[in-house]
């Protein structure tokens, strides 16, 4: 069942040894029945953007894209930077905002929406987002455990994860941490391969990859694409990926090619047919030139390349031609004029424009039309736009595109067998998700000792400072003020500290959650619950520790039940702060925004907590705030707890009213009818449940907002 990893590592991709080993590694799902054909009809995608002079305008990123992506084939999506490759992938894979999408996507004849598409596919995003405290082995096993069917036994899942790791040359760093910008871990290329592996290990029916080879050396890029080709060919998968600058070896691994320019199709078909198509438009790829380089340098970016040429005095004038090449590392190299290439070059743009008007390349009339179009265009940018428009129009009128449209109209020619159940990925059962998420979160906490130490240090330090400031409060009138001040400070600090702590930690962690949830690894309930289960001990231990330090340093009433209520209130304040922190963090995608907005939520809750403004003198339009303020209930609970039964021994100078005691203080604060600690901690508990509910909904909204 498992791949002979050493063999696979030691042999070149393509060699019989590595291919058969790979086939052995991926045998868990039946290939035939999960074949999926994706059809995009008149696909468009637009967004609203604000422009300085025009205000809000609609930007069409994709337009009229008609394409069929066949199973058992690799489909490379190519195009100049900004042509819409990533957008195309996101739209087809169901990761784009639905309201911007027009046209239709069907799979085996079934209409698809984003959620449905994500159930049959895996997606490797352009940016690698992997929890930094996991090792390569753990990340792969985690993905395999969560996304492979429950019928696959655990040892096989682990073996599969390890096989894929070694197949992607990750064997040497299996136990290295992924790392991040602060903690060095695996290299960028290794991280890229790990992202590919985490999706590949689950062997979805459709695999989308956004630049799977970026950051890889030529050999590893070849290896990755070769593996993808094996996945497609031997397992009937539909593999669609965007790619920049493939080497000619990599280019020849592609089965099909979709070339986009300005968000529209300029070629779709077998990769080897691309050269022929563009040659028919006058762009003849010279022998021994990498077709992908020619596509980028001479067809998609011709004027930009020429502009750079023109700016160098040592370079040839006019014609453009194949005057450039690429070094082994992909950097542009400008060569001396090549008369042969120059002779071929002018036909290119001209013919494309001409073909758009239904003329044959090479036809003298075609050149005139193109020259006319370019002359009309005026500036160089306009000429380039006209040339690209010509390429788009030429493709729309091509026999291949016409055939595709005809087959759309007639139906039947395209796959309409529906989606087999085998193709649908299923979540692991809830309990397994919970178990894996809890153990990962616990490991994450242990491997992030700084966060833990920071929280511990902050708790001890602040508690000692407060304890020393209010050390041994007296039992006279000054003591009343000190008791109130210290209680209020502890309540506010308990909530503020917790909100800010959660905002910073969860703000960073949320990105990983959004990515993994979007990739269908686990559900929201399991994540939410695991987070609280793992964090709960901290939300209990730290406030209780703080209570232990300050309670006797300050000298509150020395009674066990009073300490108990005090500590419980502190725990609830901390937990409420955590709930509010998650809620605020999910309202904003940006961490700094969330941090700067948090005081706006906290300050009103603090002001109307009963310390600054007596509840009886709060203006009517603000009274509602006190009823939703956890700080108010917390402050009432600890104040009533502390002052009930407290004897106040005023000094003669303090002129206290006769019988002035703790109960009188409670009455002065307006807390006499607010109930004692049991009632107020009960309300705090209810608020905590409400905040957790809000946090859950906000988290759900955050993943929906990203269209994931
Ligand atoms: N949400 C958005 N708002 C505004 N413009 C956008 C948005 N998304 C994409 N674009 C624009 O649409 C165009 C296509 O973007 P896309 O990321 O799909 O290009 P690409 O071909 O993948 O480019 P690259 O190869 O550089 O990654 C770009 O001009 C980009 O700036």
* 29 has pLDDT over 50: no
> What Å distances lie between residue 252 and 7, 73, 300, 454, CA to CA?
25, 13, 19, 54
Mean pLDDT of the chain, nearest integer: 81
Q: Ligand 1 atom 28: the closest Cα is on which residue?
A: 82
How many residues in the chain?
A: 708
Query: Helix-strand-coil percent breakdown of the chain, rounded to 5?
Result: 60, 10, 30
* 262 has pLDDT over 70: yes
What is the Å distance from ligand 1's center to 81 Cα?
A: 8
The per-residue pLDDT for range 625-635, each reduced to its tens digit, is 778 889 999 99
Cβ–ligand 1 contact at 153 (below 6 Å):
no
Task: Output the pLDDT for position 356.
Answer: 43
Q: Is 314 exposed, middle or buried (0-12, 13-18, 19+ CB in 10 A)?
A: exposed
* 210 has pLDDT over 60: yes
The per-residue pLDDT for range 126-149, each reduced to its tens digit, is 888 899 999 999 999 999 999 888
Distance between CA atoms of 414 and 70, rounded to whole angstroms? 10
Say which range, 359-373, 388-402, 431-445, 512-526, has the weakest mean pLDDT: 359-373
* 373 has pLDDT over 80: no
* 124 has pLDDT over 70: yes
**Mean local confidence (pLDDT), 336-342:** 34
Task: Output the pLDDT for position 408.
Answer: 80
Confidence of residue 214 (pLDDT cuts 50, 70, 90): confident
**Mean local confidence (pLDDT), 544-564:** 94
Task: Output the pLDDT for position 477.
Answer: 85
**pLDDT greater at residue 4 or residue 445:** 445
Asked if this assembly's ipTM is beyond 0.95, the reply is: yes
Task: Output the pLDDT for position 316.
Answer: 39
Pocket mutation for ligand 1, best pick of 49, 86, 301 (most atoms within 8 Å of C-beta) = 86
Nearest ligand 1 atom to the CA of 242 is 22
Backbone angles phi, psi at 74, to 5 degrees: -95, 135
**Mean local confidence (pLDDT), 106-110:** 87
Confidence of residue 412 (pLDDT cuts 50, 70, 90): low
Contact 347, 370 (CB under 8 A): no
What is the Å distance from ligand 1's center to 86 Cα?
A: 7
Distance between CA atoms of 354 and 676, rounded to whole angstroms? 86
What is the Å distance from ligand 1's center to 261 Cα?
A: 12
What is the Å distance from ligand 1's center to 378 Cα?
A: 26
Contact 274, 77 (CB under 8 A): no
Nearest ligand 1 atom to the CA of 244 is 25
Distance between CA atoms of 65 and 641, rounded to whole angstroms? 69
Pocket mutation for ligand 1, best pick of 56, 76, 85, 261 (most atoms within 8 Å of C-beta) = 85
What is the Å distance from ligand 1's center to 83 Cα?
A: 7
HEC string for 36-103: CCEEEEEEEEEEEEEECCCEEEEEEEEEEEEEEECCCEEEEEEECCCCCHHHHHHHHHCCCCHHHEEE
What is the Å distance from ligand 1's center to 44 Cα?
A: 13
Task: Output the pLDDT for position 195.
Answer: 92
Is the pTM of the predicted complex or chain greater than 0.95? no
Task: Output the pLDDT for position 10.
Answer: 37
Question: Vertex 33, ends 27 and 37: CA angle to 5°?
Answer: 115
Confidence of residue 708 (pLDDT cuts 50, 70, 90): very low
Cβ–ligand 1 contact at 59 (below 6 Å):
yes
What kind and span of H or E run contains 636? Answer: helix 630-643
Cβ–ligand 1 contact at 99 (below 6 Å):
no
Nearest ligand 1 atom to the CA of 88 is 18
CA-wise closest residue to 592 among 506, 513, 503: 503
The per-residue pLDDT for range 641-660, each reduced to its tens digit, is 999 998 888 887 777 777 78
What is the Å distance from ligand 1's center to 88 Cα?
A: 10
Cβ–ligand 1 contact at 160 (below 6 Å):
no
Distance between CA atoms of 154 and 144, rounded to whole angstroms? 9
Task: Output the pLDDT for position 633.
Answer: 93
**Mean local confidence (pLDDT), 38-65:** 89
**Mean local confidence (pLDDT), 318-329:** 37
Confidence of residue 550 (pLDDT cuts 50, 70, 90): very high
Cβ–ligand 1 contact at 57 (below 6 Å):
no
Q: Ligand 1 atom 16: the closest Cα is on which residue?
A: 84
Question: Vertex 572, ends 569 and 577: CA angle to 5°?
Answer: 125
In which residue are the tokens 């050390």 written? Answer: 471
Count of beta carbons in the 10 Å neighbourhood of residue 511: 14
Collapsed DSSP state (helix, strand, coil) of residue 270: strand
Distance between CA atoms of 152 and 129, rounded to whole angstroms? 27
* 349 has pLDDT over 70: no
Q: Is the dihedral of CA 137, 126, 434, 206 positive or negative?
A: negative
Domains defined for the chain, CATH in brackets:
5-47+59-265 (3.40.50.300), 281-409 (no CATH), 430-705 (no CATH)
**pLDDT greater at residue 425 or residue 278:** 278
> What Å distances lie between residue 481 and 221, 474, 487, 662, 674, CA to CA?
70, 10, 10, 12, 20
Confidence of residue 694 (pLDDT cuts 50, 70, 90): very high
Q: Ligand 1 atom 29: the closest Cα is on which residue?
A: 82
**Mean local confidence (pLDDT), 34-40:** 87
Task: Output the pLDDT for position 569.
Answer: 96
Q: Ligand 1 atom 7: the closest Cα is on which residue?
A: 47
Cβ–ligand 1 contact at 85 (below 6 Å):
yes
* 35 has pLDDT over 90: no
Q: Is 666 exposed, middle or buried (0-12, 13-18, 19+ CB in 10 A)?
A: buried
Q: Ligand 1 atom 13: the closest Cα is on which residue?
A: 82
Task: Output the pLDDT for position 656.
Answer: 78
Task: Output the pLDDT for position 447.
Answer: 87
Pocket mutation for ligand 1, best pick of 84, 90, 265 (most atoms within 8 Å of C-beta) = 84
HEC string for 588-627: CCCHHHHHHHHHHHHHHHHHCCCCCCCHHHCCHHHHHHHH
Cβ–ligand 1 contact at 706 (below 6 Å):
no
What is the Å distance from ligand 1's center to 237 Cα?
A: 27
Confidence of residue 33 (pLDDT cuts 50, 70, 90): low
């Amino acid at each position: 069942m498992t791949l002979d990893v050493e063999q696979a590592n030691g042999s070149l991709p393509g060699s019989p040894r590595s291919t058969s080993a790979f086939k052995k590694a991926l045998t868990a799902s039946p290939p035939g029945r999960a074949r999926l054909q994706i059809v995009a009809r008149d696909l468009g995608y637009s967004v609203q953007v604000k422009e300085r002079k025009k205000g809000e305008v609609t930007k069409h990123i994709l337009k009229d894209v008609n394409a069929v992506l066949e199973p058992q084939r690799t489909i490379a999506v190519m195009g100049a930077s900004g042509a819409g490759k990533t957008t195309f992938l996101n739209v087809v894979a169901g990761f784009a905002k639905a309201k911007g999408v027009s046209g239709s996507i069907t799979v085996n004849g079934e209409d698809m929406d984003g959620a449905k598409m994500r159930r049959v596919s895996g997606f490797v995003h352009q940016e690698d987002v992997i929890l930094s405290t996991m090792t390569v082995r753990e990340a792969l096993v985690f993905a395999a455990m969560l996304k492979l069917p429950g019928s696959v036994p655990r040892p096989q899942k682990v073996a599969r994860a390890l096989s894929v790791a070694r197949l992607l040359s990750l064997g040497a760093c299996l136990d290295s941490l992924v790392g991040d910008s602060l903690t060095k871990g695996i290299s960028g290329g290794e991280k890229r391969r790990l992202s590919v592996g985490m999706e590949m290990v689950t062997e979805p029916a459709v695999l989308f990859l956004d630049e799977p080879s970026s950051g890889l050396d030529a050999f590893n890029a070849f290896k990755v694409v070769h593996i993808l080709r094996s996945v497609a060919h031997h397992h009937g998968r539909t593999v669609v990926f965007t790619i920049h600058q493939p080497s000619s070896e990599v280019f020849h691994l592609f089965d099909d090619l979709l070339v986009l320019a300005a968000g529209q199709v300029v070629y779709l078909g077998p990769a080897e047919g691309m050269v022929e198509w563009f040659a028919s438009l006058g762009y003849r790829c010279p022998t021994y030139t990498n077709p992908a380089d020619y596509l980028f340098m001479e067809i998609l970016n011709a004027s930009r390349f020429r502009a750079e040429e023109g700016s160098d005095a040592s370079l040839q004038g006019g014609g453009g031609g194949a005057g450039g090449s690429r070094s082994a590392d992909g950097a542009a190299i400008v060569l001396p004029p090549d008369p042969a290439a120059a002779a071929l070059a002018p036909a290119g743009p001209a013919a494309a424009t001409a073909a758009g008007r239904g003329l044959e390349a090479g036809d003298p009339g075609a050149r005139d039309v193109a020259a006319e179009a370019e002359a009309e265009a005026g500036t160089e940018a306009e000429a380039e736009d006209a040339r690209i428009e010509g390429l788009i129009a030429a493709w729309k009128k091509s026999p291949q595109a016409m055939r595709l449209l005809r087959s759309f109209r007639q139906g039947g020619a395209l796959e309409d067998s529906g989606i087999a159940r085998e193709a649908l990925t299923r979540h692991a059962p809830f309990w397994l998700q919970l178990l894996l998420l809890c153990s990962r979160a616990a490991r994450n906490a242990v491997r992030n000792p700084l966060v833990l130490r920071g929280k511990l240090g902050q708790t001890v330090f602040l508690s000692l400072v407060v304890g020393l400031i209010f050390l041994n409060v007296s039992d006279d009138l000054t003591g009343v003020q000190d008791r109130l001040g210290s209680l209020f400070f502890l309540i506010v600090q308990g909530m503020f500290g917790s909100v800010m702590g959660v905002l910073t930690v969860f703000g960073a962690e949320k990105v990983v959650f959004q990515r993994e949830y979007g990739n269908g690894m686990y559900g929201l309930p399991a994540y939410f619950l695991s987070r609280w289960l793992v964090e709960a001990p901290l939300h209990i231990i730290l406030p209780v520790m703080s209570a232990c330090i300050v309670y006797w340093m300050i000298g509150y009433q020395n009674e066990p039940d009073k300490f108990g209520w005090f500590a419980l209130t502190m725990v609830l304040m901390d937990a409420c702060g955590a709930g509010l922190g998650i809620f605020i963090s999910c309202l904003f995608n940006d961490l700094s925004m969330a941090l700067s907005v948090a005081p706006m939520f906290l300050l009103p809750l603090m002001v109307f907590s009963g310390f600054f403004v007596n509840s009886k003198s709060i203006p009517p339009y603000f009274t509602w705030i006190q009823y939703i303020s956890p700080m108010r209930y917390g402050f009432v609970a600890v104040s009533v707890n502390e002052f009930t039964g407290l004897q106040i021994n005023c000094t003669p100078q303090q002129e206290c009213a006769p019988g002035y005691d703790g109960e009188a203080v409670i009455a002065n604060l307006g807390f006499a009818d607010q109930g004692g600690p049991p009632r107020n901690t009960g309300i705090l508990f209810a608020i905590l449940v409400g905040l957790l509910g809000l946090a859950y909904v906000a988290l759900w909204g955050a993943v929906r907002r990203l269209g994931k």
